[in-house]
């Protein structure tokens, strides 16, 4: 799954301990003299604190002694190993130890040098007990032709000399600490429905499925014993604090808390959230909103709650609060709508009558969507719009935008219109691109029996098809899907002549699968207006036909199907003064799942052996697909009878 940058072209070092190339030279006293180029690990001091838990930071003071060397760029690797297994460091190429990390020395200077290494005990199960921490100087073998390699490593335990080891005790009891590092709301703001568009009385978790706030938080945890927690959130407005509700992945509803798990023993995690607010909170936001102000805002607070039976070591770092600007929308009849005048009249008559959700609920059996439905005496307008940013724009994010509408006006034999549009914009490293968009519309004219239709698709700003036509009958299918692999962002900069290249892009499939029909004055649009399954990739590193390390990305950015079924039957408009219609728009979306990481491949030299291509990665951004969700943007059907 993980794609690596260019193939590593490095000398092939032998891995077997028995290899001649890796045999450790005999260290005899007569070889150690001031005329021989050498570096030796002199001492690793025991840390002041002797007791540690897995996942805890540890700092170690150590010293080395260098003779006739001024080598730059030297690594010192550290490993913790149970005291009774320390012999394995010499005999096993995979000793039963735990890597603590590498300390970097910019340059060796002759004589004794002392350092403090900031290391981390692995965030995984380590049996409790006595451990020795051993070190190895020059883990990348930067020193050429060093005379004695044995004294690069910790040594002497056989004789009870532990000068070059640190002794610690590992206690694998349930030490843990959660830290809320960063809290972000999608694009930095929120938009809610204004008065009259949604109910404002429910106190518990809301029933609707459409998110009110999409965003993410970054959190860390220390200690290996406890790997999960709950998160709660609240909004404070005008001094009042009310809870908000989280989407429950797999359970298909909103609830009070979000359960999070820290996977893979990584210290830093990215958690996406999908929040809805209930009626009472919406009402508070309405009351606090000052329409004459340039800016309105509320406070969003999120807290990690420890649910384990063990006490968390520090709870003061579990909460973050941010200020979020917000505004209120109140959809109106589009002023360029062909039947704007009639629809506006209908809308005015229904002002503040709780048109929605009551009308919608009666149609769709209890589910709540944010669609606007305006039913006049002889006109109809249904429309919906959804857009939210998923992910972190500074890394990878996607902005899906869906818009659909249906309308009818009983003029000139009946005029009906239906449309559905979907677009995706991609953000990577704070740059954006229009990734893919598709749309379909139809305009039926009952008076002269014609249909105008349009169907468009474009990818990265390039039109792929853009069809529109006026006909008397229509029966067209647009069923195309295909694979794409596009490099979207790329930059190279050179340090004098050494090039560093960065590139990122997407690969996957996109498509449309829509039928447009107009037969016997029944007009319909059906199918998947837009489908997309796209992964993001990124690579960065020194571009010298080799790659030592860099940044990588393996992400599903979007898996989406926007489905539309719309029909308007105007065949009985003239004869029976009746219109029959239906509109179902639903969306299935899975967004932002994967990993953003730093990685490095390096030739490693540790204790007994050399490793030609060891690999280390550090996850910067890792998420499961919380946003795997299907919801109805609008679902309604019915009839209009103009005779009444």
Partner 1 sequence: MSRLTLFMVSALTLPFGSVSANDNCTSWGNFSTTANTQMTTLNHPTNNQLSISGSLVYRPLLRTEKAYWLGLQLHKASLSVDGTQAQAAFYQVPFAVKISAVSGQILDYHFAAKLKSEDEQKLIAIYHNMHVEHLKHQDLAMPVTLEEDDSMGRYKVRYERVDQASIIRQKLAYLQTTQGNSLFNFKLPEVKADTFNITQNACWITQLQGENQTYVESEKGDIRINVRQQVSYKVSPQPLSSEIVLLSLPLDPKKWPMLASNVVYPKPAPNPLQDAQTFINTLTAMDLASLDEKTLEQLLYDNQAYLLSLQQAIRDGLFTDKALSRLFLKLGQNDTSNAHQLLVNLYLDSEITGKQRFRSLMALKYIENPLSEHLVEEIFSQLDSTELSSEEQLLSRSSMMVMGVIANNQSGSDFADKITDKLADKLVTTRDQQKQASLLNALGNSRDERHQDNINKFMSNDNADLRRRAAEALGKMPNPQSLKMLEKRLGSEQNNTAKSAILDAMGNNQLDRRQLDTLLTYTEKSTNKSLRLSAINAAAKQQSADIDVKSQLKPLLKKEKDREVLRALMQAIHGDN
Residues 532-561 that bind partner 1 (CB under 8 A): 538, 540, 542-546, 548-551
Tell me the three state secondary structure of residue 520: coil
Element (H, E) at 359: helix 355-364
Number of helical (H) and strand (E) elements in the chain, helices listed first: 5, 34
- Residue 619 touching partner 1 (CB under 8 A): no
Contact range with partner 1 by CB under 8 A, out of 217-225, 249-257, 500-508, 582-590: 500-508
User: For residue 449, what are its two tokens?
Assistant: 């029996």
Compute the least distance from the CB of residue 498 to partner 1, in Å. Answer: 5
Given the complex with partner 1, which of 9 and 358 has the nearer CB atom? Answer: 9
- Residue 468 touching partner 1 (CB under 8 A): yes
Compute the least distance from the CB of residue 437 to partner 1, in Å. Answer: 13
What values do phi and psi take at 250, rounded to 5? 90, -25
Given the complex with partner 1, which of 310 and 465 has the nearer CB atom? Answer: 465
Nearest to 264 by CA among 124, 101, 88: 124
- How many chain residues interact with partner 1 (CB under 8 A)? 94
Given the complex with partner 1, which of 29 and 482 has the nearer CB atom? Answer: 482
Strand partners, 492: 501
> Measured between alpha carbons, how far is 79 from 149 in angstroms, rounded to an integer?
18
Q: Contact letters (x/-) for partner 1, 35-54, by CB under 8 A? A: --------------------
- Residue 2 touching partner 1 (CB under 8 A): no
- Residue 299 touching partner 1 (CB under 8 A): no
Tell me how crowded residue 430 is: count the other CB atoms within 10 A of its CB.
11
Tell me the three state secondary structure of residue 31: helix
- Specify the residue for token string 């950015």: 557
Of 293, 316, 352, 575, which lies in the binding site for partner 1, with binding defined by CB under 8 A? 293
> Measured between alpha carbons, how far is 583 from 418 in angstroms, rounded to an integer?
9
* Pairing of β 51-52 and β 165-170: parallel
Contact 53, 171 (CB under 8 A): yes
> Measured between alpha carbons, how far is 531 from 456 in angstroms, rounded to an integer?
14
Q: Contact letters (x/-) for partner 1, 384-403, by CB under 8 A? A: -x-x------x--------x
For residue 501, give Cα distances in angstroms to 175, 393, 545, 553: 42, 20, 11, 15
Compute the least distance from the CB of residue 100 to partner 1, in Å. Answer: 11
Helices marked H in 137-292 — which ranges? 279-288
Compute the least distance from the CB of residue 320 to partner 1, in Å. Answer: 15
What values do phi and psi take at 574, rounded to 5? -80, -40
Contact 560, 530 (CB under 8 A): yes
Element (H, E) at 573: helix 573-576
- Residue 1 touching partner 1 (CB under 8 A): no
For residue 61, give Cα distances in angstroms to 37, 67, 90: 24, 20, 23
Contact 339, 415 (CB under 8 A): yes
Given the complex with partner 1, which of 175 and 436 has the nearer CB atom? Answer: 436
Of 288, 354, 488, 600, which lies in the binding site for partner 1, with binding defined by CB under 8 A? 600
Compute the least distance from the CB of residue 370 to partner 1, in Å. Answer: 8
Compute the least distance from the CB of residue 481 to partner 1, in Å. Answer: 7
Tell me how crowded residue 31 is: count the other CB atoms within 10 A of its CB.
14
Compute the least distance from the CB of residue 369 to partner 1, in Å. Answer: 13
Of 189, 241, 287, 321, which lies in the binding site for partner 1, with binding defined by CB under 8 A? 189
- Residue 102 touching partner 1 (CB under 8 A): yes
The sheet with strand 177-185 has its strands ordered as 177-185, 213-222, 268-276, 245-248, 253-255
- Residue 331 touching partner 1 (CB under 8 A): yes
Given the complex with partner 1, which of 203 and 466 has the nearer CB atom? Answer: 466
- Residue 203 touching partner 1 (CB under 8 A): no
- Residue 57 touching partner 1 (CB under 8 A): no
- Residue 603 touching partner 1 (CB under 8 A): yes
Given the complex with partner 1, which of 234 and 619 has the nearer CB atom? Answer: 619
> Measured between alpha carbons, how far is 451 from 312 in angstroms, rounded to an integer?
67
404-443 residues near partner 1, rule: CB under 8 A: 429-431
What values do phi and psi take at 432, rounded to 5? -130, 155
- Residue 195 touching partner 1 (CB under 8 A): no
- Residue 639 touching partner 1 (CB under 8 A): no
511-530 residues near partner 1, rule: CB under 8 A: none
Of 2, 9, 259, 287, which lies in the binding site for partner 1, with binding defined by CB under 8 A? 9
Compute the least distance from the CB of residue 313 to partner 1, in Å. Answer: 24
107-166 residues near partner 1, rule: CB under 8 A: 139-140, 142
- Residue 329 touching partner 1 (CB under 8 A): yes
Of 381, 504, 506, 634, which lies in the binding site for partner 1, with binding defined by CB under 8 A? 504
469-498 residues near partner 1, rule: CB under 8 A: 469, 476, 479-485, 490-498
Tell me how crowded residue 304 is: count the other CB atoms within 10 A of its CB.
26
> Measured between alpha carbons, how far is 33 from 451 in angstroms, rounded to an integer?
96
208-247 residues near partner 1, rule: CB under 8 A: none
């Amino acid at each position: 799954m993980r794609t690596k940058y260019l193939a590593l072209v490095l000398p092939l070092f032998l891995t077997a301990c028995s290899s001649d190339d890796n045999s450790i030279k005999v260290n005899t006293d007569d070889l150690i003299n001031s005329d021989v180029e050498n570096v030796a690990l002199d001492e690793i001091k025991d840390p002041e604190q002797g007791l540690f838990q897995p996942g805890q930071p540890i700092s170690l003071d150590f010293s080395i002694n260098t003779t006739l060397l001024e080598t730059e760029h030297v690594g010192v690797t550290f490993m913790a190993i149970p005291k009774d297994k320390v012999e394995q460091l010499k005999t096993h190429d995979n000793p039963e130890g735990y890597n603590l990390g590498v300390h970097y020395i910019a340059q060796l200077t002759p004589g004794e040098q002392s350092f403090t290494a900031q290391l981390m005990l692995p965030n995984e199960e380590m049996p409790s007990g006595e451990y020795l921490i051993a070190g190895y100087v020059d883990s990348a073998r930067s020193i050429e032709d060093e005379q004695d390699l044995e004294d690069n490593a910790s040594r002497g335990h056989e004789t009870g000399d532990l000068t070059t080891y640190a002794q610690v005790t590992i206690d694998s009891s349930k030490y843990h600490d959660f830290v809320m590092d960063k809290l972000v709301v999608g694009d930095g703001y929120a938009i809610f429905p204004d008065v009259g568009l949604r109910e404002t009385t429910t106190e518990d978790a809301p029933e609707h499925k459409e998110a009110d706030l999409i965003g993410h938080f970054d959190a860390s945890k220390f200690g290996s014993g406890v790997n999960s927690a709950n998160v709660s959130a609240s909004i404070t407005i005008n001094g009042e604090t009310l809870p908000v509700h989280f989407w429950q992945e797999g359970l298909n509803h909103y609830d009070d808390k979000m359960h999070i798990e820290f996977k893979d023993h990584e210290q830093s995690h990215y958690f996406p959230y999908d929040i809805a607010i209930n009626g009472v909170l919406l009402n508070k936001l309405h009351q606090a909103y000052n329409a004459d102000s340039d800016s309105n805002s509320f406070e969003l607070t999120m807290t990690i709650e420890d649910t384990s039976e063990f006490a968390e070591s520090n709870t003061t770092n579990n909460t973050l609060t941010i200020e979020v600007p917000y505004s209120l929308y109140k959809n109106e009849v589009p002023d360029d709508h062909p039947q704007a005048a009639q629809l506006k009249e209908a809308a005015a008559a229904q002002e503040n009558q709780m048109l929605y959700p009551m009308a919608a609920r009666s149609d769709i059996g209890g589910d709540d969507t944010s669609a606007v439905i305006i039913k006049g005496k002889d006109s109809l307008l249904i429309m919906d719009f959804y857009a939210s940013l998923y992910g972190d724009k500074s890394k990878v994010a996607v902005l899906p935008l869906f818009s659909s509408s249906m309308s009818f006006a009983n003029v000139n034999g009946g005029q009906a219109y239906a449309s559905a549009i979907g677009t995706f914009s991609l953000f990577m490293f704070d740059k954006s691109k229009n990734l893919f968009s598709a749309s379909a519309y139809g305009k039926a004219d009952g008076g002269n029996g014609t249909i105008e239709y349009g169907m468009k698709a474009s990818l990265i700003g390039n039109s792929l098809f853009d069809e529109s036509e006026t006909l008397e009958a229509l029966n067209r299918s647009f069923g195309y899907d295909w694979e794409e692999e596009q490099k979207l962002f790329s930059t190279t900069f050179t340090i004098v002549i050494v090039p560093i290249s960065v590139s990122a892009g997407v690969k996957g499939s996109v498509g449309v699968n829509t039928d447009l029909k107009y037969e016997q004055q029944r007009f319909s649009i059906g199918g998947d207006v837009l489908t997309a399954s796209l992964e993001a990739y990124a690579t960065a590193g020194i571009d010298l036909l080799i790659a030592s390390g860099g940044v990588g990305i393996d992400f599903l950015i979007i898996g989406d199907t926007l489905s539309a079924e719309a029909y308007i039957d105007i065949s009985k408009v003239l004869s029976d003064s009746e219109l029959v219609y239906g509109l179902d728009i639903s969306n299935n979306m899975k967004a932002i799942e994967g990993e953003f990481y730093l990685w490095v491949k390096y030739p490693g030299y540790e204790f007994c052996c050399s490793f030609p291509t060891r690999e280390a990665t550090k996850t910067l951004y890792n998420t499961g697909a919380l946003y795997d969700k299907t919801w109805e943007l609008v679902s309604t059907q019915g009839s209009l009878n103009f005779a009444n």
